[in-house]
Structure 1
Amino acid sequence: MRGIGLGSAGVLFAGIVFGHFGMTVDHEIAHFAKEFGLVLFVFTIGLQLGPGIIRLWKAQGFLLNGLAVAIVAMGGALVVGFDYLIGLAPGSGPGLFCGATTNTPALGAAQQAAASLAPDSEISVDTLASAYAVAYPGGILGIITSMLLLRRLFKVDVDAEAEKAEQASGTKNDPLERRSLLVTNDRIGSIAFGSLPGVDETGVRISRIQRHEQTEVQHATEETTMQVGDIVQVVGTPQELARFEPLVGRQSDVDLMETPGDVVYRRVVVTEPSVLNHSLRELSLDKIYSTTVTRVMRSGVEMTPRGSMRFQYGDITHIVGDKDGVERVSKVMGNSLKSLDETQFASLFFGVAVGVAVGMIPIALPGLPFPVKLGLAGGPLIAAILFSLVGHLGGLIWYIPYSANLALRELGILLFLASAGLGAGETFFSIVFTLDGMKWVLAGIVIAMLPLLTVGIVARKAFNLNYLTLCGVFAGSMTDPPALAFANSLSDSQTSATAYAAVYPLTMILRIVAAQILVYLLLS
């Protein structure tokens, strides 16, 4: 409507309507589909965004997690305030906190805490679940509405925000270009190209050289030395080349790409596990095979390869050298185009299994009678981030083609939302249209929206935080996959998903702890 849609989150509300009219699924099947969909969704997100999450942690991790902590704290304070002002039914306060913030693991922890306080009473536990179910849809709608209100309030241009985010994260680089340089500096004659000052800082790479008064071109590596009168071809961004050019000499009109000689060029895809996570310097391709890597294409981004760059599965490299050297490097790198189109299901489900196991690990926190767990959302997410950084383990390679990743991610969130909606729809309307139900709905929306709007305004005004990053923080601080699905639909950028994953682990633990604290405060 007017350019705004709910995206995948619409499935939840459709499920509630269909569930209300009696369309149901076997309970065990629905429960499995919901949990399997959630695991699939968060694991594929973590697998794709792992490296970007680490960069974001280094740059803004303290700020983003600080904002998420503020959102959690304000939500808990509002629950206590509502209980004091309007007298919520016993057990409904922690349920509203879990439902308005769409956190199922927190509900489980709260129910355990309630059962420990009153072992013979099921009223508080049932009230917790009812309040959660009523507040849950309003929580999702409140998060999405908060995103839209901030967008309208600050007149946000989403495309411009996506452009800024890509520039800030380094995922959008200046295009690379070739340049021919005439060597006029006689003081560099005894120095190998790779040892020249400024080469590693600028990232400029050498690929070809035409010796003075010779007609044929030769391939060049970091071991190549240059003499006055030589013409060299270098590769880099315009800014890098502008810094490097005065060190060597001046620009030449000679195009070494058109000059005859025993030099070949080939695009080679990295698909061999043995070279993954090894740096260009460690592989020593220039010394062993007398070849040069002039460019690396990763996830659609073209980069100049520095010595410290580590190869990842699916990197497309530009190799320059003689025919024999390039052929040997192609075999070393793998260069299997077929492998890029294959989804590594063995690796995928091994990683999922590890993630589920991680989510089941109890974490003892001081002052709480029950250990907390990351659950089926937090465990797989953290495991996927770690596996994406490791890259491979023996023959297991954590690489999924982008289209397959996106399909699995959408399938996961649709299974989760459909199951959740159908389950909530059975009793949703019968509870909502009671006095307590109306209180819960309104209180849940306030608990969801007020902290988000307050923190969002402060983040934009005081820190000028990117809007898409802020949307990711909103979804992550509420541990809400449907809200993330909506945020992702605003732009093709992965900025929201990266921010979501950056704040999710800490937020999950905080919400589980906060839910149990609220139980002790309001029921003891």
Structure 2
Amino acid sequence: MDWLQALFCEQGIAHAVLTLALAITGGLLLGKVKVGGVSLGITWILFVGIALSHFGMTIDAPVLHFVKEFGLILFVFSIGLQVGPGFFSSFKHGGMTLVTLASAIVLLGVLTTYVLHLTTGVDIPTMVGILSGAVTNTPGLGAAQQAYADATGINDPNIALGYAVAYPLGVIGIIFSMLLVRYVMRVNFKKEDEGLAAISNEHKMAERVSVEFTNETLDGQKIGYLRELVNRAFVISRILHADGSITIADAETVLTNGDRLLVISSPDDMPAVIAFFGHTVEMTDEEWGKNTPNSELVSRRILITKSNINGKKFSDLKLRTRYGINITRINRAGVDLIPYQGMELQIGDRVMVVGSLKAIEKVEGVLGNSLKKLNQPNLITIFVGIALGVLLGSIPLLNVPQPVKLGLAGGPLIVAILIGRFGPHYHLVTYTTMSANLMLREVGIALFLAAVGIGAGDGFIETIVNGGYRWIGYGAIITVLPLLLVGFFARIVLKLNYYTMMGLFAGSMTDPPALAYANGTAGNDMPAVSYATVYPVVMFLRVLTAQIFILFAL
């Protein structure tokens, strides 16, 4: 049985893999347990890791550090790819508000830490370690340690111990703050879903309206000319003529008074489009589905799966001219968009095509429409993006006196957002299936939590017994107080959507476990979008304030 003892007690690759697997398995099993209908979910991995480390199952520091950082990179990169397509539009609609709220949380945390230092007498280096743990910010810890060492020539172990003691309750404190706001404010998820749909137009990015053309001054003009006049984004899908025939519209189609038009436009542009053409009329889908004299009109969503289409514009493909079809909507990441000739297509887009059955079959051949092809992973984009993210995260932005960097989490996250948004423009295939994205995300966060727990377990109990238990309380105050102050203000005064607030809480604390909990609770991408919106600025502020705090004490 020597081999079994060696496997559990001696350092090595097999021991490291076994320890990580046990921490993750135990944490996931405990995550299924609910108390009062609430579970910490995947966060349990952290505490199982602490327990294993306390009983002697540790991992060599270099291996543990690699696993932690690589897991975090996988987690944030998969999030960036997912939220990238909608990131910049979300930033325009309330992004600055989120960044301001997140910055307020950071500054309130620093102020709370300083007040605790004055009232308790705990030295500032230790308080900075507690602050970094309470807000679950490892780069801030590293910056504080390095700034102290550079200024004094020695290392202060209390910085790391304060971090280790405060970190576990920091994770719980963030989730607790989310739950407290939810129950105090009596959040109703059904109403939040309705509010979210209204804010993001998630279900109404494209509306269909039947309009009778009655503008006599424009009688006999082509649709292409009228589109330039109205200066609004719209598509005319089909036209019902006076003789009862239905035809597909294109830029060269001439409109005649009395024609009925099936118009697709955004909610913002639709009133102007209706007023320009005439007035609305009631027509059912069955009436629009009537046949033309020569062919059957059908509508079908076609999935873009051919790599040579990625990044191309509609104007390059000339689908209307070549096949006599009309494209009325583009569904991208669950949102319907109004197509235009300059729009760049991406693999994974679902294109709504209207035309004859034969024409649509030809368009399918051009665009792909093969689910099998989408199941193949595009690893080149992922690993090129990770490499670029590591480079970006390593660039020093400020020197005070240590370089302030985005780090191995911030760099990959920003690059993933940029690739998700602009990658198709450079013919990069950024599409991953939802299951593949979730797998990368969950594997990454599981490895990260297991590594953090195993790293924090050694000496954890001893520190608490010897007076460190007070640090847990200080850390809890630093975690919860700023979140609740800003959270209640954002909810009561700004009427912030709860899903967005959960992402704000997790992002302001740069805390992946809290984001994983928020995503699981919300069941949509809004927490991830707000997390990604505030994360870069918050990471910068966390690192900067940690260093300034240390220098202020010396």
Give TM-score, length-normalised by structure 1: 0.89
Amino acid at match of 2:253: T
Matches within 5 A, 1:424-443: 424-435=456-467, 437-443=468-474
Q: Specify the alignment match of 2:42 in structure 1.
A: 8
Structure 2: how far apart are the matches of 1:403 and 1:370? 40
Map 1:12-411 → 2, pairs under 5 A: 12-89=46-123, 91-119=125-153, 121-122=154-155, 124=156, 126-173=157-204, 177=208, 179=210, 186-196=216-226, 203-209=233-239, 211-213=241-243, 217-228=246-257, 230=259, 232-235=261-264, 247-248=277-278, 250=281, 255-260=287-292, 261-262=294-295, 265=298, 266-280=300-314, 284-287=318-321, 289-306=323-340, 309-321=343-355, 326=360, 329-365=363-399, 368-392=400-424, 396-411=428-443
CA 1:286–1:508 in 2, change beyond 3 Å: closer, same or farther? same
Q: Which deviates further from its counterpart, 190-199 or 129-138? A: 190-199
Per-residue deviation, 1:38: 0.3
How large is the Cα RMSD of the aligned pairs? 2.9
Rounded to whole Å, the distance in 1 between the matches of 2:473 and 2:283 is 71
C-alpha distance after superposition, 1:37-79 (max 9, x if no partner): 1000000001000132212211112211111111111111222
Determine whether 1:479 maps to 2:510: yes
User: How many Å separate the matches in 2 of 1:131 and 1:82?
Assistant: 14
2:3 corresponding residue in structure 1: none
Q: Relative to structure 2, which stretch is displaced further, 49-58 or 160-169?
A: 160-169
Amino acid at match of 2:236: I
Report how far residue 423 of structure 1 moved: 1.6
Question: 2:409 is matched by which residue type in structure 1?
Answer: A
Higher relative contact order (CA 8 A, sep 6+): 1
Answer yes or no: is the 8 Å Cα contact 2:222–2:255 preserved in 1: yes
The 10-residue stretch of structure 1 (55-64 or 372-381) with the greater mean CA deviation from structure 2: 55-64
Q: What residue number does 2:447 align with?
A: 415
Per the TM alignment, residue 270 of structure 1 is displaced from its structure 2 partner at its CA by 2.0
Q: Residue 433 of structure 1: SS of its match in structure 2?
A: helix
Q: Show CA shifts across 1:89-129 (max 9, x none).
A: 4620211111111111111111110111111x33x2x1111
Query: Aligned-pair distance for 1:154?
Result: 0.8
Alignment partner of 1:509 is 2:543:
no
**Can you list the C-alpha shifts for 1:227-280, whole angstroms capped at 9, x where unaligned?**
345555545689987875672565568835232423554432223445444554
Q: Secondary structure at the match of 2:405?
A: coil
Structure 2: unaligned runs, 5 residues or longer: 1-34
Q: Which amino acid aligns with 2:500?
A: T
Instruction: Report the counterpart of residue 520 of structure 2 in structure 1.
Output: 489
CA change 1:7–1:223 in 2 (3 A) is: farther
**Post-superposition offset of 1:500:** 0.6
Sequence identity percentage: 40
Taking the aligned partners of 1:82 and 1:101, their CA distance within structure 2 comes to 15
Pair 1:199–1:352, CA change in 2 (3 A): farther
Quick check: 1:209–1:218 contact (8 Å CA) kept in 2?
A: yes
* Alpha-carbon distance, 1:309 to partner: 4.3
CA distance in 2, matches of 1:38, 1:388: 18
In 2: Cα distance, 1:99 partner to 1:304 partner: 46
Paired residues, what number?
515
Query: 1:404/1:87 Cα in 2 relative to 1: closer, same or farther (>3 Å)?
Result: same
Whole-Å separation in 1 of the counterparts to 2:496 and 2:142: 34
Q: What's the CA shift for 1:84?
A: 1.9
1:294–1:305 contact (8 Å) kept in structure 2: yes
Kept after mapping to 1: 8 A contact 2:208/2:262: no
- Say whether the 8 Å CA contact 1:177–1:235 is kept in structure 2: yes
Of 395-404 and 510-519, the range deviating more from structure 2: 395-404
| Match in the other structure for 1:518 | 549
Contact kept, 8 Å, 1:68 with 1:473, in 2: the verdict is yes
Distance of aligned partners of 1:190 and 1:282 in 2 relative to their CA distance in 1, 3 Å threshold: farther
Q: How far does residue 418 in structure 1 lie from its aligned partner after superposition?
A: 1.1
1:470 aligns with one of 501, 504, 513 = 501
2:351 is paired with a residue whose SS is strand
Which residue of structure 1 lines up, in the alignment, with residue 7 of structure 2? none
CA distance in 2, matches of 1:199, 1:158: 43
1:22 deviation in Å? 2.5
Secondary structure class of the residue paired with 1:338: helix
Provide TM-score, normalisation by structure 2. 0.85
Structure 1, 470-479 or 217-226: larger mean CA deviation = 217-226
